Homo-oligomer: A and B are copies of this chain.
Amino acid sequence: METKLEAAVIGGSGFTGLELLKILNNHPLVAVSFTTSKTYDGMEISEAFPSYSDKSCTKKLKFTVIDKIPKKELSTIDVIFLCLPPLQSMEFVNDHLLDFKGKIIDIGSDFRIKDPENFKTWYGTEHKLKNILPDFVYGLPEIYKEKIAGSRFIANPGCYPTSILLALAPVLKDESLMIEDINIDSKSGVTGAGRKVKPEYLFCSVNENFFAYSVLAHRHIGEIEQEIEKLANKNFKVSFTPHLLPVNRGIFTSIYCKVSGKGREIAAGNMESGKITAGILKSFEEFYKGSIFVKFLGPRIPQLKDVVGTNMCQIGIAFDDRTGTLKIFSAIDNLLKGAAGQAVQNMNIMLGFNEAEGLVV
């Protein structure tokens, strides 16, 4: 425990960055060497954000800016986390990390979409680092654990995609189900929008309120469809509709899949009892048997409150025989399993630690 590995957090004052700093502050095997923030440069984290307190009484971590970090200090970093807005991660890597030898975990969105054309469609601009784009592994450990373990670069998944892909993976992998149509209705807490000071995120704009937004072209669709295709070996266009929930944290996703042909027989169950056939239940159970951070509830519906504050994803399912609709419900904490927690999970895997080290189940 004496010699902890060294981490750096770029963009430590956003919701995700701060959450990451808190996790690492309590992590037994890793210590943060530096963290950056333009707004709070020179300020102690615990002063800028009283919700953060250094576990060590003697050393108080301060925010800095990247230009004040000597090259030499950067070279001793074992793992660097990027918590930057869209399009800034690739700039940062380009400017500062091209000859960095440690591991990079990008919690931003720049390295998730592998096809540069597709990236351009959803992010409206050319990708700056097409050459290293393929080296970034999509960091969803329940699906790509081995790849993550052997990788040096991670593209940490988006919050919505995490809640959606974990819910869909077992049924997409199961070809017998014949999924025909995927309709996704997600609901996110307000931290999902980041620390933006805009009228629509004021307390009186959100409290006792609810609404849909970005109803036609949310950027996460590109990432979702890319991964669905990889899971199903088949192209799907999904309808995705995000909504804003009057809660601080958490994403609850309801997915409606039309099931047809033989799949319908497999899925069909008893409407009154809400039971579904053993087949689908077993698919989920087996898929997530070894996964400490996914809890499959069977026909029980997950609740946001049961995952908030943890790195868990909870999933429940139901089959509506009247309409041939398989309903899958998932819940995660958007700042943990949907961002900083999953990033640390990826780090643990990459560094050979226990996957759950420093994380709350």
Which chain B residues lie closer than 8 Å to A303 at the CB level?
Answer: 50, 209-211
Which chain B residues lie closer than 8 Å to A241 at the CB level?
Answer: 254, 256, 327
Interface size bracket, A side: 35 or more
* A314: contacting residue among B50, B215, B290, B323, CB under 8 A: B50
Which chain B residues lie closer than 8 Å to A245 at the CB level?
Answer: 210, 245-246
Which chain B residues lie closer than 8 Å to A213 at the CB level?
Answer: 301
Tell me how far the C-beta of A2 lies from the nearest C-beta in chain B, rounded to whole angstroms: 15
Tell whether A295 is near chain B: CB-to-CB under 8 Å. yes
Tell whether A98 is near chain B: CB-to-CB under 8 Å. no
Tell me how far the C-beta of A220 lies from the nearest C-beta in chain B, rounded to whole angstroms: 14
Which chain B residues lie closer than 8 Å to A292 at the CB level?
Answer: 55, 57
Tell whether A101 is near chain B: CB-to-CB under 8 Å. no
Oligomeric state, in copies: 4
Which chain B residues lie closer than 8 Å to A318 at the CB level?
Answer: 215-216
* A322: contacting residue among B183, B209, B237, CB under 8 A: B237
Question: Given the complex of chains A and B, what is the CA–CA distance between A72 and B208 in angstroms?
Answer: 43
Question: Given the complex of chains A and B, what is the CA–CA distance between A166 and B252 in angstroms?
Answer: 26
Question: Given the complex of chains A and B, what is the CA–CA distance between A174 and B166 in angstroms?
Answer: 39
- Interface pair B208/A305, CB less than 8 Å apart: yes
Which residues of A49-64 have CB atoms within 8 Å of chain B's CB atoms?
A: 49-51, 53-55, 57
Contact with B along A173-208 (1 / 0, CB 8 A): 000000001010101001100010111011111111
* A203: contacting residue among B26, B207, B211, B302, CB under 8 A: B207
Which residues of A318-348 have CB atoms within 8 Å of chain B's CB atoms?
A: 318-320, 322-323, 325, 327, 329, 331
Across the interface, name the chain B residue whose C-beta is closest to A303: B211
Query: With A57-B292, A241-B327 given, is the CB distance from A248 to B207 under 8 Å?
Result: yes
Which chain B residues lie closer than 8 Å to A238 at the CB level?
Answer: 323
Question: Given the complex of chains A and B, what is the CA–CA distance between A195 and B53 in angstroms?
Answer: 30
Question: Given the complex of chains A and B, what is the CA–CA distance between A300 and B213 in angstroms?
Answer: 10
Across the interface, name the chain B residue whose C-beta is closest to A358: B26
- Interface pair B203/A206, CB less than 8 Å apart: yes
Which chain B residues lie closer than 8 Å to A361 at the CB level?
Answer: 25-26, 53-55
Question: Given the complex of chains A and B, what is the CA–CA distance between A339 and B121 in angstroms?
Answer: 46
Chosen A-B contacts, 20 in total, with CB atoms closer than 8 Å, are A50-B300, A50-B314, A51-B306, A183-B256, A187-B210, A190-B202, A203-B205, A208-B208, A208-B247, A208-B249, A209-B247, A211-B303, A212-B254, A212-B301, A216-B271, A237-B323, A239-B320, A241-B256, A245-B246, A256-B256
- List residues of A whose CB falls within 8 A of some B CB: 15, 22, 25-26, 28, 46, 49-51, 53-55, 57, 181, 183, 185, 187, 190-191, 195, 197-199, 201-213, 215-217, 237-239, 241, 243, 245-250, 252, 254, 256, 258, 271-272, 274, 290, 292, 295, 297, 300-310, 312, 314, 318-320, 322-323, 325, 327, 329, 331, 356, 360-361
Query: Which 9 residue pairs across A and B have the least CB separation, nearest first?
Result: A209-B305, A51-B306, A203-B206, A211-B303, A53-B361, A50-B306, A185-B185, A239-B323, A239-B325
